[in-house]
Structure 1
């Protein structure tokens, strides 16, 4: 499982589901696979990386055995998308604490701003292979 780039996301968050769809559309080489943090696979990974209770308002990227959170995760994902999205890597020059301040503000308000689903998203049959149960 660790050989793939795994994105753990909040499966009931509309913003997070939109981000997953955004990444899928810009990842034709299928470098990323996904699992909602409500799944057993995500719970196992979060436990392995000691993320169980520390981060309720972010998503995670596990890439080459390393776990990224918040803006580090977002920028690391941009590295593997098309050239245009790689331009966002310029934000790496900003201190993580500064970048994450804005990220945390959005993360803590994501349900009130974008809404919440009652259940996790179900991938279409063609995207099923991109998701880990």
Structure 2
């Protein structure tokens, strides 16, 4: 399951992550503890979620509230500061098990390494276009 949102701006990266977690919770992929687990990871490990190219991949362990596998992709037209980086895309993932987690990581890595998709990402106008690009 992949959910997408395209918005103009958010107050800060915490608000962006909260939005993605709320969407995943609505879809039954995570419970209410998942967001706090992500914040705890950030506090403990810093900005390791940042993948480069303006993309951040917040996540937590399955036991921290993941119910089933899912992904929420939030594009913020006005970039948000995440540590020393400017982020435009938040890809929050939840996985029900280690294999699903690695599949998600592989899929996102392939997406980020596709220069054509990265160029097209800059031109996305709405959720439908974003979902089509991510789903390719």
Larger Rg: 1
- Write 1 or 2 for the structure with the bigger share of helix: 1
TM-score, length-scaled by structure 1: 0.32
Structure (1/2) with the larger strand percentage? 2
Q: Which has the higher contact order (CA 8 A, sep 6+)?
A: 1
**TM score, norm. by length of structure 2:** 0.32
